[in-house]
Amino acid sequence: MRNKTKGKLTIVGAGPGDPELITLKAVNALKNAEVILYDALVNPILLEHNKTAEHYFVGKRKGAHSFKQSEINTMLVSFVNEGKKVVRLKGGDVSVFARAAEEISYAERFGITAHLIPGISSFSGIAANNRIPLTRRCQYESIWVTTGYTCDGKPSPDIIHAAQSTATVVILMGMTHLPEIVSLFNIHKPNNYPIAVVQNGTLPNEKSVVGTLETIVQQVKEGEIQNPAAIFVGPAVNDPTTLWAKQQEVNFA
């Protein structure tokens, strides 16, 4: 029998991976939760903030989806209607490629208001962790963040527009299409244009390679860089403040 008093749905950003890069508000939401549905990019250490809640892994990986989005939506509404405090825990920030809008819209169809708690986005967290200045006064004056592929599985058409800009371009979920992405940039940028790929950003097992449009595909292969990874393109990658600047052997001049 369902509880006549509805529970609460809170959609929480867990940050880029390092378990300390989560907000106090997010931790408090976890501590008060009765049910936690968490994604693949969420550091499982965060679940230790509440060991008594029901934990459900609903993460998605390419070729190995554990739950469809429609199933996750149904679970959220079902638990809330049972009168439970539900936390939907997502990697990064809830507003950046997190499908939060889909879950909010579905919940609202059942009269449920979702509460959102922001998190540090993966693109900004990984950049800061590696001292990549996504913006620098009078030099890099804008940021373009795009997904690597669209719902039809093809490279995002926004990438070709981003490649024509002077912005620091960040591409998430783009590793599968890296050669195609490089080709799109090569239409408008020279072979020596800077690019970096960072895997497992902010975590102890973080790996990165830094190169140019001409070299990066081979570097990724040799470095065995895999998903999850973020791609950074633009002069900011070769800024002297970055962690790898002194070790960088490629001449971007």
Question: Which residues are identified as catalytic?
Answer: 39, 60, 173
DSSP annotation of 36 reads: E
Q: Is residue 230 within 8 Å of 122, Cβ to Cβ?
A: yes
The residues, ordered by sequence, that sit 6+ positions from 195 with a Cβ below 8 Å of its Cβ are 182, 185, 210, 211, 212, 213, 216, 231, 232, 233, 237
Cα torsion at 34, 36, 37, 41 (round to 10°)?
Answer: 180
- Neighbouring CB atoms inside 10 A of 124's CB total 18
Tokens describing residue 227 = 């998903």
Amino acid code (one letter) for 224? E
Q: Is residue 37 within 8 Å of 76, Cβ to Cβ?
A: yes
| DSSP codes, 196-240 | EEEESTTSTT-EEEEEETTTHHHHHHHTT--SSEEEEESGGGG-T
Distance from C-alpha of 219 to C-alpha of 211, rounded to nearest angstrom: 8
